């Protein structure tokens, strides 16, 4: 039986990877990802997980080894954060275009400089266009469930894309909370073995990663995009299957008190749970506020988002990353773009906060929402506003 | 030596794994070496290729010259990708998810991919002890991008980024001793080879494949386009480079050096350099300096070889 235990979110990821009976792990240590890979190393060392743990010499080699492993037909996992994800960047486009399934836990961390080991979404946004499926977790239960689901999504014949599970550095990775750790029998029922059709095998030689001149490159890229967009349906189906089996449902866009809301705050990641406290308080005071959390960042859930905000007057979008000199925070840009063609569209206010691990407390969320409502009423020429910063 | 043409085709394995029809230049010594390497490895082999001439000439989508499973991802990571392949096969065989039996995992790339941009990934893979072979095809510059210097380019050579001029001799540094770097990783097998000596080359590749653990093999690969030499003398250059001491053939098995062949008297370096446009600007005194350096290097190898 699955049982609820007090454990760290990072360990819940490691447990999920063990339950998925992963074959190859290739990872390089980086704060705040280390607890995941340390735990996995222990599992391998103790014989609790029969896997090859490749202690690579860089994240670039971690992702490269993952490509080789997946191409050989092995279930493959890695984990990294911040600068590690940046160092992987060159390699990230390979599994996405070569359609190599794998799962990566990304412990979101701010990017240098100045150096910061603490969390924000700069790294997540930096790899936005590499072609991965990006799923955002909010708490320890999420990371456990979504990591297991991610293997099924990634290896599904209709998908065959690598998947990132994003978890906020420290604010989620290092939190100890009650988490239901899945039972091996249940996971085996849900997650079939990885069967890869084009694996590297001397008896069925295939060439992988051939190069494409202009007469074929655009066709390959369009096919990749179409496949990623289409993967959303399979992702939703797998989320539903997981929910039907285990009672915990996940959605591309999660809503909280949003049905009759006049103002909706939009967030991503672990800070969303803090934001619910502010929403509750404002609701008690008669302020019709709601919350939307974007869970599926790529492929972006356009329809689900439009559906969730169709009757709202104003949206306040919180980003935890800056698109320097750009139109708004990256999440807000996406939302403005998603709603631009709508006949009735809300006012959309872009706030950036919580950079480099700076906490956003419930009272900060409360004042953020109130300030957003003020701006929505009075209007502002600001593309975006960076909040909670000493002037 | 002239009889090679008669008996090599008879004694070497007939089966080709690198099909003709690829787009390499006329007289390419690298593709000759690739064919020999593949013949030595045989069917049970997976090739991981870094970006470079070999990859470009052999894999223009949707064509492929590879009759072995072959994978290319990037320029700088072939050894790391091979680590993943080798580990995957090991664990899946253990779990009964992959056919039993030895599979040769071979990573290959040019000198730029090996000496320079992929050195870290190669060092990591050698240090971790993966059971794989790394083959460096050394044509002594970045040929695929248009003959830019690498750290494998020999002293004095003209490349497009080490052009000789009023204030430049051409390449101003000496060739990096990459086999010594491989040896420093304490791996079971390191060797140099030349396609002008196909049986020596194939025996070394076979040995590298059979020994458990990492093997590093550096193969001299004449490049008529980049060296400004005639295509029909590529094999001759691949022999002259050995006979002049510019690329000694040796192997290092478990740290023990052994020269594969030696010469009582080296041919003068001019014999090797003269047919190549990349050395045309060098003066008599430059050649004396180079000759001295090569002789010293060969003597060092002899000393190491004799110490065993």
Residues in A touching B127 (Cβ below 8 Å): 57
**pLDDT value at position A380?**
82
Neighbouring residues of B221: CB distance < 8 A, sequence distance ≥ 6: B29, B30, B33, B110, B137, B138, B139, B195
Candidates 3.30.1300.10, 3.40.50.920, 3.10.180.10, 2.60.120.10; CATH matching A253-386? 3.40.50.920
Candidates 3.10.150.10, 3.40.50.970, 3.40.50.10190, 3.30.470.10; CATH matching A3-246? 3.40.50.970
Predicted confidence (pLDDT) per residue in B11-53, tens digit: 889 999 999 999 999 999 999 999 999 999 999 999 999 999 9
Predicted confidence (pLDDT) per residue in A215-255, tens digit: 999 999 999 999 999 999 999 999 999 999 999 999 999 99
* Alpha carbon distance A379, A382 (integer Å): 9
**pLDDT value at position A280?**
98
3-state secondary structure of A211: strand
Q: Across the interface, which of B48, B84, B124 has its CB nearest the CB of A66?
A: B84
The overall average pLDDT reported for chain B is 96
Residues in B touching A197 (Cβ below 8 Å): none
* Alpha carbon distance A256, B178 (integer Å): 61
**pLDDT value at position B308?**
77
Q: Which domain holds residue B40?
A: 15-306
Interface test with A, best of B47, B55, B69 (most A CBs within 10 A): B69
Q: In what order do the strands lie in the sheet with A347-352?
A: A253-256, A289-294, A263-267, A314-319, A347-352, A385-386
Q: Is the pLDDT of residue B229 over 80?
A: yes
Parts of chain A with a pLDDT under 50:
none
Asked if the structure places residue B3 within a domain, the reply is: no
- The ipTM assigned to this model is 0.97
Does the pTM surpass 0.95? The reply is yes
Q: Across the interface, which of A52, A65, A212 has its CB nearest the CB of B81?
A: A65
Asked if the structure places residue B182 within a domain, the reply is: yes
Q: Are B70 and B47 in contact (CB under 8 A)?
A: yes
Mean per-residue pLDDT, B151-175: 98
* Alpha carbon distance A132, B281 (integer Å): 52
Q: Are A194 and A75 in contact (CB under 8 A)?
A: yes
* Residue from B18, B91, B16, B89 nearest B57 by CA: B18
Asked if the structure places residue B1 within a domain, the reply is: no
Asked if the structure places residue B4 within a domain, the reply is: no
Interface test with B, best of A50, A61, A199 (most B CBs within 10 A): A61
Predicted confidence (pLDDT) per residue in B282-295, tens digit: 999 999 999 999 99
Residues in A touching B76 (Cβ below 8 Å): 60, 90
Q: How many CB pairs under 8 A join A and B?
A: 172
Answer yes or no: same fold for A3-246 and A253-386. Answer: yes
Torsion A183-A189-A190-A195 (CA) sign: positive
Q: How many domains does chain B have?
A: 1
Outline where DSSP puts E strands in B174-308. Answer: 189-193, 215-220, 250-253, 256-259
Q: In what order do the strands lie in the sheet with B133-138?
A: A207-208, B70-72, B45-49, B104-110, B133-138, B215-220, B189-193, B250-253, B256-259
Residues in B touching A207 (Cβ below 8 Å): 59, 64, 66, 69-71
- In degrees and rounded to multiples of 5, residue A215 shows phi and psi of -75, -10
Residues in A touching B60 (Cβ below 8 Å): 210-211, 213
Q: How many CA atoms lie within 13 A of A211 on its CB side?
A: 17
- In degrees and rounded to multiples of 5, residue A266 shows phi and psi of -115, 125
Confidence class for position B103, pLDDT limits 50, 70, 90: very high
Neighbouring residues of A335: CB distance < 8 A, sequence distance ≥ 6: A266, A305, A315, A317, A348
Q: Are B283 and B156 in contact (CB under 8 A)?
A: no
Question: Residue B49 is inside which H or E element, if any?
Answer: strand B45-49
Asked if the structure places residue B6 within a domain, the reply is: no
Asked if the structure places residue B98 within a domain, the reply is: yes
CB contact under 8 A, A61 and B73: no
Predicted confidence (pLDDT) per residue in A153-163, tens digit: 999 999 999 99
Nearest CA in chain B to A23: B91
Spell out the alpha helix ranges (H) of A81-138.
82-98, 122-126
How far A364 CA sits from the closest chain B CA (Å)?
A: 46
Give, to the nearest 10 degrees, the angle between helix A34-45 and helix A9-19. 40
Give the burial class of A288: count Cβ atoms within 10 A of its Cβ; 0-12 exposed, 13-18 middle, 19 or more buried: middle
**pLDDT value at position B2?**
60
* Alpha carbon distance B6, B73 (integer Å): 39
**pLDDT value at position B4?**
67
3-state secondary structure of B119: helix
The enclosing domain of B173 has a CATH number of: 3.40.50.970
Q: Are B235 and B196 in contact (CB under 8 A)?
A: yes
CA dist A87 → A30, A37, A81 (Å): 12, 18, 10
* Alpha carbon distance A56, A61 (integer Å): 6
Residue extents of the structural domains in chain A: 3-246, 253-386
Q: Are B150 and B221 in contact (CB under 8 A)?
A: no
**pLDDT value at position A135?**
98
Bridge partners of A17, per DSSP, are none
């Amino acid at each position: 039986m699955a049982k609820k235990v007090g454990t760290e979110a990072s360990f819940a990821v490691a447990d999920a990877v063990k339950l998925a009976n992963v074959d190859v792990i290739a990872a390089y240590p980086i704060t705040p990802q280390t607890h995941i890979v340390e735990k996995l190393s222990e599992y391998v060392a103790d014989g609790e997980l029969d896997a090859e743990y490749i202690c690579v010499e860089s994240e670039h080699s971690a992702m490269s080894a993952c490509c080789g492993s997946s191409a050989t037909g092995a279930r493959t996992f890695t984990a990294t954060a911040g600068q590690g994800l940046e160092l992987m960047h060159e390699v990230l486009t390979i599994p996405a275009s070569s359609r190599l399934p794998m799962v990566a836990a990304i412990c979101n961390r701010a990017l240098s400089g100045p150096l910061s080991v603490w969390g924000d979404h700069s790294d997540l946004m930096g790899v936005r266009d590499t072609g991965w499926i990006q799923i955002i977790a909010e708490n320890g239960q999420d990371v456990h469930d979504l990591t297991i689901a991610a293997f099924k999504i990634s290896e599904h014949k209709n998908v065959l894309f690598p998947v990132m599970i994003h978890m906020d550095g420290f604010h989620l990775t290092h939190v100890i909370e009650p988490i239901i750790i899945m039972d091996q029998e249940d996971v085996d029922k849900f997650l079939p073995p990885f069967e890869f059709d084009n694996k590297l095998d001397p008896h069925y030689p295939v060439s992988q990663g051939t190069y494409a001149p202009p007469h074929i490159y655009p066709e390959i890229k369009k096919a990749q995009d179409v496949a990623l967009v289409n993967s959303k349906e399979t992702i939703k189906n797998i989320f539903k299957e997981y929910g039907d089996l285990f009672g915990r449902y996940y959605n591309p866009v999660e809503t909280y008190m949003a049905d009759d809301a006049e103002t909706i705050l939009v967030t991503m990641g672990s800070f969303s749970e803090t934001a619910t406290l502010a929403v509750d308080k404002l609701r008690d005071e008669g302020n019709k506020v709601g919350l939307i959390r974007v869970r599926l960042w790529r492929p972006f859930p356009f329809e689900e988002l439009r559906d969730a905000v169709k009757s709202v007057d104003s949206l306040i979008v919180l980003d935890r990353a800056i698109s320097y000199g750009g139109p708004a925070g990256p999440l807000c840009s996406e939302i403005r773009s998603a709603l631009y063609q709508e006949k009735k569209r809300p006012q959309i206010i872009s706030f950036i906060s919580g950079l480099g691990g700076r906490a956003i407390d419930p009272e900060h969320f409360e004042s953020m929402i109130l300030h957003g409502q003020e701006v929505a009423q009075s209007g502002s020429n600001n593309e975006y506003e960076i909040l909670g910063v000493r002037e | 030596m002239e009889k090679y043409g008669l008996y090599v085709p008879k004694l070497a394995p007939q089966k080709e794994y690198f099909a003709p029809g690829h787009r390499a230049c006329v007289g390419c010594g690298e593709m000759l070496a690739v064919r020999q390497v593949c013949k030595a490895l045989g069917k049970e082999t997976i090739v991981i290729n870094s970006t470079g001439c070999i990859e470009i000439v052999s894999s223009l989508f949707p064509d492929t010259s590879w009759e072995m499973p072959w994978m290319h991802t990037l320029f700088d990571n072939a050894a790391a990708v091979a680590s993943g392949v080798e580990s995957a096969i090991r664990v899946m065989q253990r779990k009964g998810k992959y056919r039993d039996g030895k599979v040769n995992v071979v990573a290959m790339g040019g000198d730029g991919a090996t000496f320079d941009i992929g050195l870290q990934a190669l060092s990591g893979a050698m240090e971790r002890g993966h059971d794989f072979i790394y083959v460096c095809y050394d044509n002594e510059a970045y040929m695929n991008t248009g003959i830019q210097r690498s750290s494998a380019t020999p002293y004095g050579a003209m490349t497009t980024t080490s052009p000789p001029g009023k204030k430049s001799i051409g390449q101003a540094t000496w060739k990096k001793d990459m086999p010594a770097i491989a040896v420093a990783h304490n791996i079971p097998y390191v060797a140099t080879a030349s396609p002008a000596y196909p049986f020596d080359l194939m025996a070394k590749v076979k040995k590298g494949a059979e020994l458990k653990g990492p093997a590093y093999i550096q193969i001299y690969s004449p490049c008529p386009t980049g060296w400004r030499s005639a295509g029909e003398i590529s094999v001759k250059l691949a022999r002259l480079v050995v006979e002049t001491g510019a690329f000694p053939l040796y192997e290092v098995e478990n740290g023990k050096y052994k020269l594969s062949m030696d010469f009582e008297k080296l041919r003068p370096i001019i014999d090797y350099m003269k047919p190549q446009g990349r050395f045309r600007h060098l003066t008599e005194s430059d050649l004396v300096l180079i000759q001295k350096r090569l002789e010293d290097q060969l003597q060092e190898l002899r000393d190491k070889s004799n110490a065993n």
